[in-house]
């Protein structure tokens, strides 16, 4: 239990990996803040991948590579002081050409679809890269067609004023130079000076909407990591605490420091809004269905049940939403909503429960797994579905369990792209909980998974979570690993 208490001491501020996309935006600050800009630029220079692109190293996700490579080349072009910059840009251009030559097929092959804001952000970057002479006019090629689609969407948004109260604020940079009139600038920043708690959106704000704004610059100084890299989102305190506690509560006979636990539960409860739940970060404005559902679940499991009305406020005709204005529903959000409904005492026949179950049945692949827009791996959503749906729809769970068992690697690991500790932990969690509920799971399957996981517990972990680029919430992943190890040993 020492490791668990150590984890409880660390969670809170939110530890997230760097993304080349957000780092590139900060690198563009230039003379506005040379220290900040230079630190970010050095990270960009040091983290070009072997094929010339930028993005997640071991997880090849086309959307991530496209957006990170474009943003990095633009940042290097604006500096352009060294021959090395030009060499890196040329290598990036070659990589981008390979990525986008078969982009229709390549982008379509990303199983979870686009990264956040991709269809609006990428055309903005393409237009800028064309003007800078980095890439040729795209015309009818895939990136050119995306630019035309963006223009139509921008036109539809003409009457909308983007502020901190609506989700487009998180991707403010998608507006580019031509869309700056879309913003309600006086109501765009969060209390910490950020725009949507997004470093890239805040850097855009600092350069184009409110140059040299001290609160925005101060936020970026707090967000940048010691190595010069910048995360996709900051802070993620609510998210990190709630997901970690959810993972740990799966362990039976959990003996943890009550003072540490109380601190975290007080934190979550104090930020709960009775009407709309909670946000990813304590100082965030926009509440969402996913964080609200999981926090409700966690608080209820630890004896602090809230009013379910906040969760029901996200109910739609055929599913529950994560955000207002979302273009497509989230599978994992609906899974977590189901967990909240269970903790609220809703029986299987309740209309809201049936609504979620019908939605999940319609989105489960024939092989038994689920894919979600917030995570690049099916093991995340599939594992959570098994854990939460037991007793509501055991046949759905059984199909998912069979898929997990059938996809274990010969060395005991699991991984959709490459074997990872995170995905192996999810598989072990779901198999262990399924077995604990009286179902048959061969002990050898779990034991082989545990043996592999024991040798691969330490970070860095692969970035599998989907934001504007792929990222890794390190301590959330760590909590899943610790939970899986304890569950496997329960037998």
- Picking from 116, 167, 28, 15, the residue whose alpha carbon sits closest to that of residue 468 is 116
- Picking from 479, 462, 463, the residue whose alpha carbon sits closest to that of residue 471 is 463
In a domain, 124, yes or no: yes
Q: For residue range 67-106, what is the model confidence (pLDDT) as tens digits? A: 999 999 999 999 877 788 899 999 999 999 888 775 555 6
Q: For residue range 462-472, what is the model confidence (pLDDT) as tens digits? A: 999 999 999 99
Residues 266 and 148 both lie in one domain:
no
**Over residues 154-179, mean pLDDT:** 86
Strand pairing partners for 471?
465
Which DSSP category does 473 fall into?
B
| Burial class of residue 419, CB neighbours in 10 A (0-12, 13-18, 19+) | middle
**Separation CA 27–CA 37 (nearest Å):** 4
Orientation angle between helical segments 289-301 and 258-270, nearest 10 degrees = 140
Residues 212 and 241 both lie in one domain:
no
Q: Write the DSSP string, 196-246.
A: TTBHHHHHHIIIIISTT-HHHHHHHHHHS-TTS--BSSS--HHHHHHHHHH
**Separation CA 63–CA 129 (nearest Å):** 17
Q: Write the DSSP string, 274-321.
A: TTTB--SSTT-S---HHHHHHHHHHHHHTT----THHHHTTB-SSSB-
Domain tally, the chain: 2
Q: For residue range 421-440, what is the model confidence (pLDDT) as tens digits? A: 999 999 999 999 999 999 99
In a domain, 3, yes or no: no
The segment with the largest mean pLDDT, out of 6-15, 249-258, 444-453, is: 444-453
pTM higher than 0.75, yes or no? yes
Pull the structure tokens for residue 146: 């995306």
Of 194, 223, 252, which residue sits at a domain end?
A: 223
Residues 260 and 174 both lie in one domain:
no
Residues 351 and 327 both lie in one domain:
yes
Q: 475 and 420 in contact (C-beta within 8 Å)?
A: no
Return the pLDDT at 177. Answer: 86
Q: For residue range 317-366, what is the model confidence (pLDDT) as tens digits? A: 999 999 988 889 999 999 999 999 999 999 999 999 999 999 999 999 99
Return the pLDDT at 144. Answer: 62
Of 223, 247, 264, which residue sits at a domain end?
A: 223
In a domain, 4, yes or no: no
Q: For residue range 106-165, what is the model confidence (pLDDT) as tens digits? A: 666 677 788 998 988 998 999 899 899 998 766 556 666 676 667 766 776 677 899 999
Instruction: Give me the percent of the chain exceeding a pLDDT of 70.
Output: 95
Phi first, then psi, for residue 32 (nearest 5°) are -65, -35
Q: What is the mean pLDDT of the chain?
A: 94
**Separation CA 169–CA 71 (nearest Å):** 19
Domain hosting residue 144, numbered range: 20-223
In a domain, 302, yes or no: yes
**Dihedral sign, CA of 254, 396, 391, 336?**
positive
Pull the structure tokens for residue 483: 């939970």
In a domain, 204, yes or no: yes
Residues 270 and 413 both lie in one domain:
yes
**Over residues 412-424, mean pLDDT:** 98
Of 223, 254, 271, which residue sits at a domain end?
A: 223
Length of the chain: 491
Pull the structure tokens for residue 195: 């725009």
In a domain, 7, yes or no: no
Residues 297 and 199 both lie in one domain:
no
Name, in order, each residue with C-beta under 8 angstroms of 113's C-beta and a sequence gap of 6 or more.
63, 328, 373
Contacts by 305-309 with C-beta closer than 8 Å and gap 24+? 305/343, 305/344, 306/269, 306/272, 306/274, 307/274, 308/340, 308/341, 308/344, 309/274, 309/275
Residues 476 and 372 both lie in one domain:
yes
Residues 65 and 126 both lie in one domain:
yes
Is residue 65's pLDDT more than 80?
yes
In a domain, 11, yes or no: no
- Picking from 351, 383, 389, 352, the residue whose alpha carbon sits closest to that of residue 370 is 383
In a domain, 6, yes or no: no
Residues 210 and 263 both lie in one domain:
no
Residues 250 and 142 both lie in one domain:
no
**Separation CA 475–CA 10 (nearest Å):** 8
Residues 282 and 258 both lie in one domain:
yes
Return the pLDDT at 100. Answer: 78
Phi first, then psi, for residue 148 (nearest 5°) are -65, -40
Q: For residue range 390-413, what is the model confidence (pLDDT) as tens digits? A: 999 999 999 999 999 999 999 999
Beta strands 465-466 and 470-471: pairing type? antiparallel
Q: For the domain that residue 470 is a member of, what is the CATH number?
A: 1.50.10.20
Q: For the domain that residue 179 is a member of, what is the CATH number?
A: 1.50.10.160
Return the pLDDT at 106. Answer: 60
Residues 70 and 198 both lie in one domain:
yes
Pull the structure tokens for residue 82: 């060294």
């Amino acid at each position: 239990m020492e490791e668990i208490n150590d984890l409880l001491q660390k969670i809170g501020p939110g530890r997230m990996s760097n993304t080349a996309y957000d780092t590139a935006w900060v690198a563009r600050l230039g003379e506005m803040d040379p220290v900040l800009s230079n630190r970010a630029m050095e990270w960009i220079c040091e983290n070009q991948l072997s094929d010339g692109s930028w993005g997640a190293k071991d997880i090849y996700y086309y959307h991530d590579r496209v957006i990170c490579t474009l943003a990095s080349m633009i940042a290097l072009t604006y500096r352009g002081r060294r021959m090395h910059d030009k060499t890196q840009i040329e290598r990036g251009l070659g990589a981008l050409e390979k990525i986008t030559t078969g982009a229709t097929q390549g982008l379509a092959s990303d199983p979870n679809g686009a990264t956040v804001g991709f269809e609006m952000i990428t055309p903005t970057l393409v237009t800028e890269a064309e003007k800078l002479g980095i890439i040729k006019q795209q015309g009818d090629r895939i990136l050119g067609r995306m630019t035309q689609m963006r223009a139509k969407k921008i036109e539809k948004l003409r009457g909308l004023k983007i502020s901190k109260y609506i989700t487009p604020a998180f991707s403010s940079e998608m507006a580019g130079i031509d869309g700056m009139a879309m913003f309600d600038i006086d109501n765009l920043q969060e209390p910490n000076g950020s725009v949507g708690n997004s470093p890239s959106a805040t850097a855009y704000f600092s350069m184009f909407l409110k140059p040299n704004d001290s609160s925005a610059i101060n936020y970026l100084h707090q967000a940048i990591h010691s190595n010069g890299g910048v995360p996709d989102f900051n802070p993620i305190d609510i998210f990190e605490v709630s997901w970690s506690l959810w993972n740990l509560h799966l362990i039976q006979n959990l003996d943890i420091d009550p003072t540490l636990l109380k601190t975290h539960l007080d934190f979550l409860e104090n930020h709960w809004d009775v009407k709309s739940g909670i946000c990813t970060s304590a100082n965030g404005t926009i509440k969402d269905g996913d964080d609200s559902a999981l926090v409700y679940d966690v608080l209820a499991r630890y004896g602090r049940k809230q009013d379910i009305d906040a969760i029901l406020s996200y109910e739609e005709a055929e599913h529950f939403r994560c955000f207002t204005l979302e273009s497509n529903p989230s599978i994992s959000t609906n899974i977590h909503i189901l967990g909240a409904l269970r903790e609220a005492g809703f029986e299987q026949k309740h209309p809201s429960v049936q609504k979620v179950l019908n939605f999940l049945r319609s989105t489960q692949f024939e092989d038994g797994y689920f894919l979600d827009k917030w995570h690049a791996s099916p093991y995340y959503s599939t594992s959570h579905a098994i854990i939460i749906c037991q007793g509501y729809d055991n046949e759905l769970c059984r199909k998912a369990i069979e898929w997990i068992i059938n996809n274990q690697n010969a060395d005991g690991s699991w991984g959709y792209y490459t074997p990872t500790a995170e995905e192996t932990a999810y598989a072990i969690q779901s198999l262990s909980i399924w077995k604990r509920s009286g179902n048959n799971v061969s002990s050898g399957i779990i034991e082989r998974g545990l043996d592999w996981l024991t040798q691969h517990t330490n970070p860095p972990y692969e970035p599998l979570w989907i934001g504007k680029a792929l990222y890794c919430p390190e301590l959330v992943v760590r909590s899943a690993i610790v939970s899986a190890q304890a569950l496997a040993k329960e037998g």
